[in-house]
Structure 1
Amino acid sequence: MANTNLPEVWLRGPLPQLHPLLQPVAHALLQAREELNELMADFPNELLWNKVAGMASPGFHLQHLTGVLNRLFTYARGEALSEEQLNYLATEGKPTNKIYTVTELVENFNYEVNEAIQQLGTASEANLTDFRGVGRAQLPSTIIGLYTHSAEHTMRHLGQLIVTVGVLKELF
């Protein structure tokens, strides 16, 4: 859970292992992790796949947040997505034989944030503007573009998750 005595992550100082250009990405991902863990701490499994007013379910957001981080950081390494990653993408937010719990989905997200921070720690300023192909169409981006998008996309979906969870808690 987030420590309310601490300022937001971006005001706690730089992470020593990361290049200064990548600090905002890491700070956003760490802030999202703290907020998501606090938000989902007492959320009931029974509401995980509920939708309100056509909004995506909390379960979808949790799967999607994890999957997108994994995919974007794969592209940043210059790798193609594996069959496992493509299968994960195809099942985000859809019923499967696997029954997920809130705890499992949060732990999966936490793991992916840790992996992302580790990868950011190995990034070199020299290649941040190198191009990388994204998706099957190999649309152009840069490594720093992929990292930046991972941060903004994570925060966008966290915001949607906050609203959805808040509404579901009020209704149920």
Structure 2
Amino acid sequence: MAEKLQQPEVWLRGPLEDLPVLLQPAAFALMQTNEELPFWLKNFPKEKLWVKPAGRASVGFHLKHLSGVLDRMLTYAKEEPLSSEQFAYLKAEEAIETNLSVEQLINVFTAKVEEALTYFKTLEEHQLTESRSVGRKKLPSTLIGLLFHAAEHSQRHLGQLIATASFVKML
């Protein structure tokens, strides 16, 4: 029988204190991703971190991308421009970095989730519908739109990562 997560999903554990109720689903999704990464990547072989099955994204890419997107969405949410470091990180998301371990990459995402949750706690619900712009093209969004996208994006890449990791382990 396959190993299972030991507790109910985050959204089934009750509300989070000091967090606007409308941001609870986004927080739950980020926290769920953060909890599942070490579970699904337990004992994942470092030498398979950058394998691209059928030319698709590697587990390493997904891990780097999870952190990078969350970082960029938080920057846009705060109405700040991306820094040169963020542009460099974006460019390097697909780069193979054999010096990085699964644990190191997960730790980067964990720190970014903690930063996001801390930021969520500073917000008032009336702010969530404020306009925000995304990227160099200044595409229109809202604060809640950015934060929700960051959360659903993490869940989407978690699913892709799980499928990729499961397949690559068998190679």
Query: Secondary structure of the residue that 2:133 maps to in structure 1?
Result: strand
TM-score by length of 2: 0.94
Cα drift, residue 17 of structure 1: 1.3
| 2-structure distance, mates of 1:45, 1:25 | 30
Counterparts of residues 20-59 of structure 1 (less than 5 Å): 20-59=21-60
Partner of 2:151: 151
Partner of 1:114: 114
- What CA deviation, in whole Å up to 9, does each residue of 1:44-93 have, x standing for no partner? 11111001012100010000000000000110011111110010001002
2:63 is matched by which residue type in structure 1? L
Change (3 A) 1:31 1:167: same
Cα drift, residue 5 of structure 1: 3.8
Contact 2:5 2:39 in 1 (8 A): no
**Which range is displaced more, 80-89 or 32-41?**
32-41
1:111 is matched by which residue type in structure 2? A
Query: Secondary structure of the residue that 2:52 maps to in structure 1?
Result: coil
Structure 1: gaps (5+ residues): none
Q: Following TM superposition, where does structure 1 have runs of at least 4 consecutive aligned residues deviating by more than 4 angstroms?
A: none
Cα drift, residue 16 of structure 1: 0.7
| 1-structure distance, mates of 2:6, 2:48 | 30
Counterparts of residues 9-158 of structure 1 (less than 5 Å): 9-95=10-96, 99-158=99-158
Query: Secondary structure of the residue that 1:132 maps to in structure 2?
Result: strand
1:60 is matched by which residue type in structure 2? F
Overall identity of the aligned pairs, in %: 51
Partner of 2:165: 165
